[in-house]
Structure 1
Amino acid sequence: MPGSPTQPLQSASRDGFVAFSPERAAAYRAGGYWTGRTVDSLLRQAAIRWPDRVAVLDAVSSHTYSELDDLVNRTAGGFASLGIAPGERLLLQLPNSCRFAVALFGLLRAGAVPVMCLPGHRLAELSHFAQVSGAVGVVVADAADGFDYRAMAEQLVAAYPQLRHVVVDGDAGPFLPWSALPSGAPPEIAVDTAGPALLLVSGGTTGMPKLVPRTHDDYVYNATASAQLCQLTNDDVYLVSLPAAHNFPLACPGILGAMTVGATVVFSADPSPEVAFPTIDRHGVTVTATVPALAKLWAQACQWEPVTPKTLRLLQVGGSKLEPEDAARIRAALTPGLQQVFGMAEGLLNFTRLDDPPEVVEHSQGRPLSDADELRIVNGDGESVAPGDEGELLARGPYTINGYFRAEQDNLRCFDSDGFYRSGDLVRLREDGYLVVTGRVKDVICRCGETISAQALEERLLSHPAVWSAAAVPLPDPDLGEKICLAVVFAGPTLTLAELNRYLDECGVATHARPDLLVAMPSLPKTPVGKIDKKAIARQVADAQKVSPR
């Protein structure tokens, strides 16, 4: 391949990265789970095998695999010409579009490590990601959904001078427009496939979201094995309606899995039924992934939308637990090919299988993707529970991380001495090997498929001078799965929900972490040991609203 002399990946990309042990790495290679392929190779090989097939399309553009590969080559050369070195990190925050695919693979081909930011992340989250990752640049859209990403980029650059490169798709303002990326040949890079390929963003559990380092070896396996399990072929058309930077639509099997078989990926920035249904119909979409709240809305919308899905053979639902009655309604309204997916950005994926009977699909959250996945279900003392009993799920395997990026203290808490990841999910293991999710250990709220740290939200609100104490509590919601209820003791006059959310907006808090309900209280109930009793708050609010708390 033309380009500059081969460059090694810089050791900086591994600073703070917790690698697989030599023994486990050797076992995964010997077992065929790791094949030494880079994530970028998925596109390169697809362009060789299916050059004329449509690879990606959105509302305004489309590219065959050959065209996409050429665009990525030019983009990688452009990033390299800017002086971006192999191993350096860049924040990638683009809406669902063909440009997202070009930027992602362009960064990978240049040897950079993308930090996969979601469109809803704001200054608070991106500041944290920039600081932890040591990113040297940002790739953003000019504006989307009424938000100006350039203004946020200006604040980021002012706070973090190491952000030397800001590339803007669209009207760039003071920054470099995407169209003005310099020309150049893609660099030839010697890639250590056991090192980080990209950094996903964890669901917030305690404090700000953490960065999840996925290696080339583990992420190629993640995507390839998921595509095989879902029986993807080059006749499939995969719709990305969830944010593309999420692990679920990116590699489970998602965009990357589609490329392993030469399928077509359709990007849509609007998952609403009135947009998604005509998109599914127009392009003959056969596979897509949603969260429970969206899947339920789609099922209900079949009663009034003039165009409804007719071509879906597989509808994946994950991000939070899908209740059995909802699963049955979704199967009846949208497609019998419902698949429950219970997974995490940190690795472990559980799927119901395509040939599973309805009872399994509707009443379980699947079983592990790989025969090399190792599970432990333990009680609060770390001891294994009896078969069928509830406990916290711990996991390790060929695609589950061994530690968060540059998060030593979090890693001490989130991984046991044998390298098992503590998921924070409470589960029960059925006799047939399938898991049933029963709850959570961690103090989080799952709102419309997004995991929000109650602690992080509370800490942000306590910085407001009018807030004396606060508790963020999940309440069941038929549309969102869980809504964010904020119980507040005010230090003076009571503020409104709109005023508090306006404050969170000024603080740069992600849009999906804004409270839905505000309840002012004279004091917050406490447990016998003096902690805030969130279950009591949920009961009080539920009683007042005549709903049943989970």
Structure 2
Amino acid sequence: MLEGCTPWPADPARRYREALLWRGETLGTLLRTAAAEYGDAIALVHGDRRITYAELDRWADRMAAGFARYGISPGDRVVVQLPNVPEFVAVCFALFRLGAKPVFALTAHRSQEIGHLCRITGAVAYVLPGVHRGFDHRVLAKEVRSGAPSLRLLFSLSGKGGDVIDLSTVDAEPVELPGQDPSDAAFFLLSGGTTALPKVIPRTHDDYAYQIRATSAVLGMSTSDVYLAVLPLEFNFTWGCPGVLGTLVSGGTVVLADDPTADDCFALISRERVTVTSVVPSIAQLWLEAAEWSEADLSSLRVVQIGGAKLQRSVAERITPVLGCELQQVFGMAEGLLTLTRLGDAPEVVLGTQGRPLSEEDEIRIVGPDDRDVADGEIGELLTRGPYTLRGYYRAPEHNAIAFTEDGFYRSGDLARLTADGDLVIEGRIKDVIIRGGDKISAAEVEGHLLGYPGVLRAAVVGVPDDLLGERTCAYLVVAGERPSLPDLKRALHDCGLAGYKLPDRVEFVDELPVTPLGKVDKVALVRLAERSRLSVTNRKG
């Protein structure tokens, strides 16, 4: 096990192996097995590019040898920040086979997040997009490298410059590579927690291979399935629930979308006969609106998975009538636990719950503030442990001490209850996180940057309910002197390296922030204030 990772205790690990949940597979071999069985079938589609299983398998082998030629070794960490392109899949499989560890980063991440990931993981390399949507990541990479002593190699998807290596040149004759320990970390996902910068989540070959197989079985994935990757590939939801990897293991085809808009995605669904996709509620709502007037043929769709944020029942009720497919509600976390409604579940379960745990070995507790189990049906904090839920964040012993119970249950920070039939209903969050269109934003991080703006004395950031995005961010500020405009604040935060999705949607000014009896900022009161302000504006417009 890689230094800094927390292994599963011996007893549950043995139980998972005896139950054949963990089968000793490595992620790099999954593609090898699929290529042997489905060699000439199409594995990936992106625009006009169509890549077979055999071609993807050879590409991964040659790229693994190319990375090795540049000095990347088993155990090395490599930050991977690419859009939804075939290179993302090839890079990850190449690194899996080499024994190096991809560290997933969103294309929206900027210097603050990328620098943090490079430093905390000791990354030796960074695979970046080049210029993507008008932003030159090569400039960012050089800035990050100056503050990350371990970082020595930069690989760019689009062109080279100076000491930035063109990713297309990472190619060499395949060589024999060392075998991998399936219980070791295969790659790293990022948390969406309350801390200013993301925690790093090690996912092992054993646990992730199980997750892929189990979610594929729940969806009945087969060679006839075509999966549309709409959300970023770096999301656990897109990558392996069952997502890209589950589709490839099943012999299906993965279609990569550049943009989640209905125009682009409906065209892909129609052209490629997409059967399965996964989206967040805000995208689902936009698709429902577009479907009312679109003439695109969506008849191939059999299932749309929706997760990442709370799905309003009014939206859930429209999925099947408008899109003509089954809805699967999914609650999940990069840390592990997944709950899903099953195909054929009663309408009340599909529309009103987040379903049942993926595995029979998933253990769930709903507890009160005293860590004691609440009565059946009552709301409490969701705790969990199981065969694909981490036992500790990477290189975070102090945080692990509070994020896990002594007997290994992960404290999710989610408020939940269980129905009489054992289905999970997510009711809210304990942690101070805003979920905006599926992206998780730490209020504390944004507040810290706002306090660095000239004249800002106090700052509080809250999530305000929004029909489209689930929540929008509203910043409440106490300032001295002239009040800054929202565009000026956004520009300053962006210049600090804050990702675009974290920038406030609204700013309100107050003389004092409300506080609770314990002296903490009363964010519940601020949310109510923001709602009243929004309704007042709506009424005036009306």
Partner Cα distance (2:392, 2:119) in 1: 18
What does 1:248-259 correspond to in 2, within 5 Å? 248-259=237-248
For the residues of structure 2 that align with 1:43 and 1:35, how far apart are their CA atoms? 16
2:11 is matched with which residue? 23
Match for residue 305 of structure 1? 294
Q: Distance in 1 between matches of 2:402 and 2:297?
A: 46
Alpha-carbon distance in 1 for matches of 2:219, 2:394: 30
Confirm or deny that 1:127 pairs with 2:127: no
Question: By how many angstroms is 1:444 displaced?
Answer: 0.5
Match of 1:201 among 169, 174, 190: 190
Distance 1:510 1:346 in 2: 22
Q: 1:411 maps to which residue?
A: 400
Q: 1:232 aligns with which of 221, 240, 249?
A: 221
Give the one of 132, 147, 154 matched to 1:144.
132
Name the aligned partner's letter for residue 380 of structure 1.
P
Once residues 140 and 122 of structure 2 are traced to their aligned partners in structure 1, the CA distance between those partners, rounded to angstroms, is 18
2-side partners of 1:532 and 1:220: how far apart?
43
CA distance in 1, matches of 2:536, 2:473: 15
Q: Secondary structure at the match of 1:159?
A: coil
How far is the alpha carbon of 1:214 from its aligned partner? 0.3
Partner AA of 1:546 in structure 2: L
> 1:396-441 CA distances to partner (integer Å, 9 max, x unpaired)?
0000000100111111111110100001110110011101111111
Kept in 2: contact 1:199–1:214 (CA 8 A): yes
Q: For the structure 1 residues 462 and 184, does the alpha-carbon distance in structure 2 shift closer, same or farther, using more than 3 Å as the test?
A: farther
Aligned partners of 1:458 and 1:472 also within 8 Å: yes
Identical columns (%): 44
Q: Counterpart in 2 of 1:54?
A: 42
Q: Name the counterpart of 1:6.
A: none
Q: 1:135 to 1:37 in 2, by over 3 A?
A: same
Distance 2:467 2:4 in 1: 41
| Distance across 1 between alignment mates of 2:8 and 2:398 | 18
- Quick one: which of 177, 180, 187 aligns to 1:191? 180
**3-state SS of the aligned residue for 2:146?**
helix
DSSP-derived class of the 1:102 partner: helix
Following TM superposition, by how much is the alpha carbon of 1:451 offset from its aligned partner in structure 2, in angstroms?
A: 1.2
Which of residues 433, 443, 463 in structure 1 aligns to 2:422?
433
Q: Does residue 525 of the first structure (1) align with residue 514 of the second (2)?
A: yes
**CA deviation digits over 1:367-413, x for unaligned, max 9?**
10000000010001111000000000000000000010011111111
What code does the residue aligned with 2:51 have? H
Report whether the alignment pairs 1:214 with 2:212: no
Q: Deviations over 1:445-481 (max 9, x none)?
A: 0100111111111112212232211111010111111
| Residue 469 (structure 2) aligns with | 480
Task: Measure, in 1, the Cα distance between the counterparts of 2:155 and 2:325.
Answer: 43
Report if the CA contact (8 A) 1:62-1:98 is conserved.
no
The answer to whether the 8 A contact 1:82-1:182 is kept is no
Q: How far did 1:304 drift?
A: 2.3
Quick one: which of 481, 488, 501 aligns to 2:490?
Answer: 501
Cα deviation for residue 308 of structure 1 reads 4.9
Aligned with 1:190: secondary structure?
A: coil
> CA 1:204–1:503 in 2, change beyond 3 Å: closer, same or farther?
farther
Partner of 1:293: 282
1:314 to 300, 303, 314: 303
SS at match of 2:57: helix
Rounded Cα–Cα distance in structure 1 between residues aligned with 2:275 and 2:17 = 33
Other structure's SS at 2:460 match: strand
Alpha-carbon distance in 1 for matches of 2:152, 2:45: 31
Structure 1 alignment gaps of length 5 or more: 1-10
Deviations 1:212-253 (A, max 9, x none): 000000000011110011100000000001000100010000
Contact 2:237–2:278 (CA under 8 A) maintained in structure 1: yes
- The separation in 1 between residues aligned to 2:417 and 2:279, in whole angstroms, is 24
Shift of 1:43: 0.7
Partner of 2:254: 265
- Superposed CA deviations along residues 58-89 of structure 1, whole A, max 9, x for unmatched, are 01312100000001110000001111010100
Equivalents in 2 of 1:182, 1:321: separation in Å? 43
Q: Distance in 2 between matches of 1:23 and 1:458?
A: 43
Match of 1:111 in 2: 99
Pair 1:263–1:182, CA change in 2 (3 A): closer
Distance in 2, matches of 1:62 and 1:101, equals 13
Contact 2:119 2:150 in 1 (8 A): no
Cα offset for 1:545?
A: 1.5
Q: Does 1:338 align with 2:327?
A: yes
Q: Match of 2:458? A: 469
**Counterparts of 1:178 and 1:381, CA distance in 2:** 52
| 268-277 or 326-335, larger mean C-alpha shift | 326-335
Say whether the 8 Å CA contact 1:367–1:434 is kept in structure 2: yes
Distance 1:23 1:547, change over 3 A: farther
* CA distance, structure 1, for counterparts of residue 93 and residue 500 of structure 2: 27
Q: Which residue matches 2:540?
A: none
Distance 1:435 1:255 in 2: 26
TM alignment of 1:381-460, pairs within 5 A: 381-460=370-449
| Cα distance in 1, alignment partners of residues 404 and 222 from structure 2 | 37
Give the 3-state SS of the residue equivalent to 1:114 in structure 2. Answer: strand
Deviates more, 1:366-375 or 1:304-313: 304-313
How far is the alpha carbon of 1:187 from its aligned partner? 4.1
Q: How many pairs are equivalent?
A: 536
8 A Cα contact 1:287 1:312, kept in partner: yes
Distance 2:23 2:171 in 1: 34
Q: What amino acid is the match of 2:445?
A: A
Q: How far did 1:179 drift?
A: 2.1
Contact 1:72–1:102 at 8 Å: present in 2 too? Answer: yes
Q: Which amino acid aligns with 2:122?
A: G
The aligned amino acid for 1:73 is D
Could you tell me how far apart the structure 1 residues matched to 2:295 and 2:301 are?
Answer: 17
One of 7, 19, 30 as aligned partner of 1:42 = 30
Deviation at 1:154, TM superposition (A): 0.9
Three-state SS of the structure 2 residue aligned to 1:487 is strand
Q: How far off its partner does 1:206 sit?
A: 2.1
Measure the CA separation in 2 of the matches of 1:60 and 1:104.
22
- Aligned mates of 1:203, 1:335 — CA distance in 2: 32
Do residues 67 (structure 1) and 46 (structure 2) align? no
RMSD: 1.2
Are 1:282 and 2:271 matched, yes or no? Answer: yes
Does the Cα contact within 8 Å between 1:243 and 1:269 map onto a contact in 2?
no
Aligned residue in 2 for 1:5: none
1:547 positional shift: 7.7
Counterpart residue number, 2:527 = 538
